[in-house]
Structures are given as structure tokens and as C-alpha cells.
Structure 1
Amino acid sequence: MNPVSAPTPDLAALADSVREIEHHVAEAGWDGPVRVFALVRTQEMLRTEPGLAAQLDESVLEAARSQPWHLTSIEQEDLPAAPDLETLLAGLSWPSTVDGMAVTVERVVLPPAAEEEMPQDTDAALDYLLSHPERQDVRLVVGALRGGPSWCAVRTRANDADDQVGQGADLVPGLVAAVRSTLD
């Protein structure tokens, strides 16, 4: 039996941040827009902007003091208009002061066999997708650190509870790659 190794500090911080973002977005309910978050190391943020300490909860300040990789997520408002998520992400870039980023998006998914039967026509495909009895509404939260790990959280509308959120490093490989590309 292989011993389970502890996550690296950066991975642990990213996983905590993605879980926090997922919980925050879940509080707003379903049918929400795409949301984008910059991830910055809290210690460095407070070093460059000490006045921000007054806006943070004492538990966050304590975590930042004891964990050099503690991350603060900063929601990006007024995102540029884009016809789809791929175009939005392709148009994003971050200054070197941003250590990572996360995105939240809701999708409708079908089992693979049902996807194979989907019509090619866009309108027909949408009708098929929305009316299929095996469809699942999911919320994806994908985060990545510059040159480092990724972490994903997946919540289904059918199992909409904090203890029912799936998590892992590469659950949505295509979206992880798109998030990473914003950090290049």
C-alpha cells in the first residue's frame, strides 16, 4: 500500500481557495454567470497594501501569518464581453503580482451515450440537451497557480450540498488548460 503524501503548501492553499470560492458562489444559488477570481498570496498582498488588513477577518489574518501560501481570492468585475467562456479566458492575462486564477461556470452534462445521440444542428442540440431526462446541471470551479498545481470542485444541482462537492486536481482537463493559459 502506498502511503498518501501530504499536499504541498501551494496545492493545499489552492484547494482551500477553490473550496472557499465554490462555497461563496453556491450561496448565490444556481443559474449564475461566469465568475473570475484573481488569486494572490495574502502575505504579499498585505505587504504591498497594508491597509487591506482592516478589511480582512482576524481568522484570515492569522492564517496568512502562519501559512506563507495562504491565498486571497479577488473577484473580477466588469469582465470583457465575450461570446463564450473560451473566448473570455483567451482574452485574459494577469500581472506578475497575481499568483493564480479561478473561474466558475455552470454547464449541462449528459452521459457519454446520450452525447453521441445529440443532433448536429445547434438549435436541435440545445432542445435535446435541455429536455434529456439524464441531464445534470453542474457548477465547475477550476483554479490554477502560475507554474504550479490546479484544483477543481464540481457540484451538481441534484446533490446541492457542501458535503457533496467533488474535488480533484484535474477533473476538468480542458478547462484547467484554459485557466493555465491565462497565467502564461
Structure 2
Amino acid sequence: MTQTPQPVTDPLTLAALDTERHVARSGWDQPVRLFALVPTAELLALEPQLADGLAAHDAVAGALSAVEQEELPEATGLEELLAQIAWPDQVTGCALAVERIVVPPDAERDLPDEDEAALRAVAEHPSRQDVRLLVAVTRGGEARCLLRQRAHDSDDRVALGEDIAPGLVHALRATFGPE
């Protein structure tokens, strides 16, 4: 017996999937991209002309729309960048897209201690995989993580879970201040 996949209906997952597809359309080798997630109904009340470009699922109760943050603060790394982010009350959640190189766990154990040598070893490893993570969280604590592998980019499939990138989930939740 074959199971028919159930349609995704929760607002955070829909927003994460839409945002990841938006990022994917720009290809690979992108910088970090950050998005505010705002209630679609409130966005349309302020910007009614945006209604023409919305998908059917944007009418779902509680739907969220992603608004890209164009000018990010200067930072030497992702942790420093996120430490500078704070959201106004109108922002229900946020999403972050970041590309990474991953290697199998056994390859990680053999990496050099020196940072530059380790980065070079990862980049040159024959089993390396380029991946894009999109992590979305809400002010209320929900999280969705999507992972797209560059090697499987053409099939448009992404892995979906809540704990694929726990460090990024935690760092994004911290942008909403103390719990």
C-alpha cells in the first residue's frame, strides 16, 4: 500500500518552504540571507497590492509571509550577525538561509586543529556535500529546518525537521530576546 503524502498546512512550514524556494531560485554560492516572518493578513492590510502575488496557501489562517532584510549589519561571522539582530513586536518569526559544507563524521575527526587548514581540508574532501540550511522560528518557540543538498538540487526535494540545525534554531530564537 502506498501512502499519499499529506499536504503541509501549518503556517510556519509553509513559510519556510516558500522562503527556501525563493532562495533556491537564486542558485548557489549566496551570502547569508535573513527574513522577517510577518502575519500575511497584517502585511496585506498595509500593502494590499501584494495580494496579486500570493499563493492559495497564503490564505490559510495564521499564514506568514517572509520579508527579506536587505541591509544586514557588518559582522565577522554568523554568531556576531545574529547577536546584533532584534525584531519589533510586529515580527512573528524569522528565517535564515545559509550555505555550508558538510563531511562525514569520520572525516571530521581527522581534521587539522588549525582553522585555515581545517577549512581547506573540508573544502577538498572527496565526500564533501554542499548544503543550504533554511531555519525558521517563531517568537512562540516553533522551529522548522530545511536542508537542500546541492547534489540533489534538480529534484527540488528538501529534508524537513525541527532539529536539523539546533545551534541555528537557538541563535534565531535569541533574536527575539529573553524567553
Q: Same fold (TM over 0.5)?
A: yes
Gap runs ≥5 in structure 2: 1-5
Among 131, 134, 141, the residue aligned to 1:138: 131
Among 29, 33, 38, the residue aligned to 1:35: 33
The one-letter code sitting in structure 2 at the alignment partner of 1:31 is D
**Structure 2 CA distance for partners of 1:8 and 1:107, relative to 1, 3 Å:** closer
> Is contact 1:41–1:68 with CA below 8 Å preserved after alignment?
no
The one-letter code sitting in structure 2 at the alignment partner of 1:86 is E
> Is contact 2:37–2:93 with CA below 8 Å preserved after alignment?
yes
Among 51, 54, 61, the residue aligned to 2:49: 54
Shift of 1:59: 4.4
Deviations 1:72-121 (A, max 9, x none): 11000110110011111111000000000000000001111100100011
4+ residue runs over 6 A deviation:
6-9
Shift of 1:22: 0.8
**Structure 2 CA distance for partners of 1:123 and 1:57, relative to 1, 3 Å:** same
Shift of 1:163: 3.8
SS at match of 1:104: strand
Q: Which residue of 2 aligns with 1:73?
A: 66
The one-letter code sitting in structure 2 at the alignment partner of 1:183 is F
Q: Percent identity?
A: 45
Q: How does 1:1-184 map to 2 (within 5 A)?
A: 12-47=10-45, 49=46, 52-57=47-52, 59-60=54-55, 63-64=57-58, 66-184=59-177
Q: How many residues align?
A: 172
> Is contact 2:13–2:144 with CA below 8 Å preserved after alignment?
yes
Aligned residues: CA RMSD = 2.0
The one-letter code sitting in structure 2 at the alignment partner of 1:35 is R
Q: More helix by proportion, 1 or 2? A: 1
Shift of 1:30: 0.4
**How far apart, in 1, do the equivalents of 2:96 and 2:53 lie?**
26
**How far apart, in 2, do the equivalents of 1:58 and 1:125 lie?**
44
**How far apart, in 1, do the equivalents of 2:54 and 2:71 lie?**
29
**Structure 2 CA distance for partners of 1:76 and 1:121, relative to 1, 3 Å:** same
**How far apart, in 1, do the equivalents of 2:48 and 2:75 lie?**
34
TM-score by length of 2: 0.89
SS at match of 1:155: strand
**How far apart, in 2, do the equivalents of 1:54 and 1:123 lie?**
49
**Structure 2 CA distance for partners of 1:58 and 1:79, relative to 1, 3 Å:** closer
